[in-house]
Structure 1
């Protein structure tokens, strides 16, 4: 009896599960035009973000990861049309003007890009898709996806997620069902808003916001704000 008991005790000790490995800490890398000679790459600890919208923005205290010397977007001369490009030539013209693009999202099939914009012919709000393998555009209907800018597919929700576009829902996250690639709909897919208002465009310090997908159904909201000590030019708000 004594030997069996000791044997069972040894078995219990050796069967102990190993401790789970600690998940690596996630960081976000931002490309900012905060250098007079070009751009800076900043490393941000997303776990240290303060979600309190009343907290004033803080300046970066640590040096940038790297700096890229290049002309700013407002100052570069026109690009060299003779420079080599790595893009495939698309014979069919865009069904919309670039300035009319409101939002876009990649379909979970990995090859189809959905774009909501004004129609080139009738100037009607419409949603199109581009097949990156066939290099063809398709028209899905005279309706718009409910996003502002880029939206991302979330596999856990089986839906696109982005920032809401409408003025009444500005500052909220929005999720939208993904339409079939071959479908032509008479109305937009079903969508709904998140419960919490993430930011306010009415703030005098607000400059813009962007949603970034971090993977594994995690998102990071980047809000660009004026610092309270910045000297704002008249009419800049």
Structure 2
């Protein structure tokens, strides 16, 4: 056997490890900004095939399933999840506007922090000036598009050292208001109710590209949908109130020139047979995000739920111990002497029981992660089959409800 073979195998293993993708969760769990946490979903140590997962939830509350410690923290305004974006294969951008009156470094007036999850390094990218309100960031074709405030802007990957300055490019303004965007999707070839040609030749050809109206119908998704090459369809969470918690897919619409002017027909759509949101009556849904992991239609549903905190003297909503330390707070009961008002013990017990029923119990937040594969069964119905795996993790302390209602998760 050649001596080089073990070395080659070691090198191949290192390369595979380097290319392995992970789930990155972001929390605004400290006063000055956000933390980034990395999860390896290839391990089933914390997974269960129990559809409801109530036993897993109880275990998570006991502190057995804590999130790993942060790999990075950055300063930015808390409670603004819409200003977090993933792009360029391995980078997370934090575009939150600088707080009015905040003593921020001059650099942040024109730049935003950019964290590379693979290189574990930080650089500064250009800020959109003026800051955009409630932006939609769309990574496509190795670039990042920003739709907000009546503008549409493009950011290309970071240039090599000593190249021209890194900056945003303003493209053709959209023929609609940002507030009217209910859902959006990208495909391997541009396709949508409104389509924008992102081809490099078009953007460089002058005019900043153009928008084309293709249909007088709405996509069936809540927020972002993903193009699934295996299914040749867009996939996202259903926005229909009667099917909340289900995954929905619809045919990707080809942007044929003949369909311009709103002539394209509403695409065929299917609803998953299974409901992916938790159906445990002890869990209260707060928010969810669907993450596309590629492969053979692999997905991860990141859902935030809350459950009653059964501990005496429990903390208030959101006051959870940080995942850095897998230990609950030392809760102690405080016994107060009651004045003898002449009432009997039974009367006092009855009043006490009534008071306890009137006071809402504190709740604890958990992230419920469901990984699954989508496919069509023999009847051409959309299904997850037996692929669902559920994990529960305790939410870090001090995370805002705004972020928990809109979980920020990236697959990189």
Q: Same fold (TM over 0.5)?
A: yes
Q: Deviations over 1:158-204 (max 9, x none)?
A: 11111111111110011110111123445410010111100159976
Contact 2:291/2:301 (8 A) holds in 1: yes
Contact 1:164/1:172 (8 A) holds in 2: yes
User: How many angstroms apart in 2 are the aligned matches of 1:131 and 1:32?
Assistant: 34
TM superposition shift of 1:150:
1.1
Does residue 139 of the first structure (1) align with residue 161 of the second (2)? Answer: no
The alignment yields a C-alpha RMSD, in angstroms, of 3.3
Counting only pairs closer than 5 Å after superposition, residues 63-102 of structure 1 correspond to structure 2 as 63-73=69-79, 76-77=98-99, 81=129, 86-90=167-171, 92-102=172-182
TM superposition shift of 1:26:
5.6
Contact 1:210/1:223 (8 A) holds in 2: yes
- Over 3 Å counting, the alpha-carbon distance change for 1:50 and 1:68 in structure 2 is farther
Aligned to 2:393: none
Q: Secondary structure at the match of 1:165?
A: coil
Which segment is superposed worse, 40-49 or 158-167? 40-49
5+ residue gaps, structure 2: 1-12, 81-96, 101-108, 111-128, 132-164, 203-208, 310-314, 319-359, 361-400, 406-412
Aligned to 1:221: 301
Which segment is superposed worse, 66-75 or 172-181? 66-75
Q: Secondary structure at the match of 1:43?
A: strand
Q: Which runs of 4+ in 1 moved over 6 A?
A: 82-85, 201-204
User: How many angstroms apart in 1 are the aligned matches of 2:176 and 2:280?
Assistant: 30
Give the structure, 1 or 2, with the largest relative contact order (CA under 8 Å, sep 6 or more): 2
> Please, which of 271, 279, 288 is the counterpart of residue 209 of structure 1?
288
User: How many angstroms apart in 1 are the aligned matches of 2:235 and 2:248?
Assistant: 6
Bigger helix fraction: 2
Contact 1:200/1:206 (8 A) holds in 2: yes
Q: Deviations over 1:40-67 (max 9, x none)?
A: 1112232434453342383635322222
Contact 2:52/2:279 (8 A) holds in 1: no
TM (norm. structure 1) is 0.70
Which segment is superposed worse, 37-46 or 81-90? 81-90
User: How many angstroms apart in 1 are the aligned matches of 2:223 and 2:279?
Assistant: 15
Which segment is superposed worse, 24-33 or 161-170? 24-33
User: How many angstroms apart in 2 are the aligned matches of 1:128 and 1:202?
Assistant: 39
Aligned to 1:40: 35
Does residue 195 of the first structure (1) align with residue 195 of the second (2)? Answer: no
- Over 3 Å counting, the alpha-carbon distance change for 1:146 and 1:43 in structure 2 is same
Aligned to 1:62: 68
Q: Secondary structure at the match of 1:162?
A: strand
TM superposition shift of 1:227:
5.2
User: How many angstroms apart in 2 are the aligned matches of 1:189 and 1:97?
Assistant: 23
TM superposition shift of 1:156:
1.2
Contact 1:104/1:113 (8 A) holds in 2: no
Q: Deviations over 1:14-40 (max 9, x none)?
A: xxxxxxx9x867631111212222111
Aligned to 2:231: 157
5+ residue gaps, structure 1: 1-20, 115-126
Aligned to 1:130: 196
Aligned to 1:53: 52
